[in-house]
Amino acid sequence: MIRLRGYRLLVGAVLGLLAGGADAQRLTMTQALDGDPFGAAPQFSARIQDRRLAGDVAGVFAMPGETLSVVAREIPAGADLTLDVNGFGAARRDNDHSWRWRAPRQPGLYPITLRNRATGGQMRLNVFVKTPFDPAARQLNGYDIGRYQPTARARDPRSAPPRGLVEVTAGTTGVHVSPHFTLGDFLCHQQPQYWPKYVLIRPRLIAKLEMIRTALINAGIDGNGLVVMSGYRTPWYNADIGNTTVYSQHLFGSAADIFVDADADGEMDDLDADGSITAADAGWLADLVETLTAQAPELAGGLSAYPGNRFHGPFVHVDVRGVAVRW
Give the start-to-end residue ranges of the domains of the chain. 11-129, 179-326
Give the pLDDT score at 40.
80
Strand pairing report for 139-140 and 143-144: antiparallel
CA distance 205 to 1: 22
Which residues is 124 bridged to in the sheet?
Answer: 57, 113
CA distance 293 to 289: 6
CA distance 184 to 237: 17
The 8-class DSSP code of residue 150 comes to S
CA angle 60, 61, 65 (to 5 degrees): 115
Which residues is 182 bridged to in the sheet?
Answer: 176
Backbone angles phi, psi at 78, to 5 degrees: 80, 5
Give the pLDDT score at 155.
82
Under CATH, which number does the domain 179-326 receive?
3.30.1380.10
CA distance 308 to 257: 12
Statement: residue 4 has pLDDT above 70:
no
Statement: residue 24 has pLDDT above 50:
no
Q: Give the pLDDT mean for 199-221.
A: 98
Give the pLDDT score at 173.
98
Q: Give the pLDDT mean for 23-42.
A: 48
- pTM, entire model: 0.89
CA distance 18 to 13: 9
Residue percentage of the chain with pLDDT more than 70: 88
Closest C-alpha among 135, 67, 141, 143 to residue 105: 67
pLDDT digits (tens, 9 = 90+) for 101-118: 999 999 999 999 999 999
Residue percentage of the chain with pLDDT more than 90: 85
Strand order in the sheet with 98-102: 51-53, 45-48, 67-73, 98-102, 90-95
Q: Give the pLDDT mean for 184-189.
A: 98
User: Is 11-129 in CATH node 1.10.12?
Assistant: no
Statement: residue 26 has pLDDT above 50:
no
Give the pLDDT score at 39.
58
CA distance 257 to 319: 9
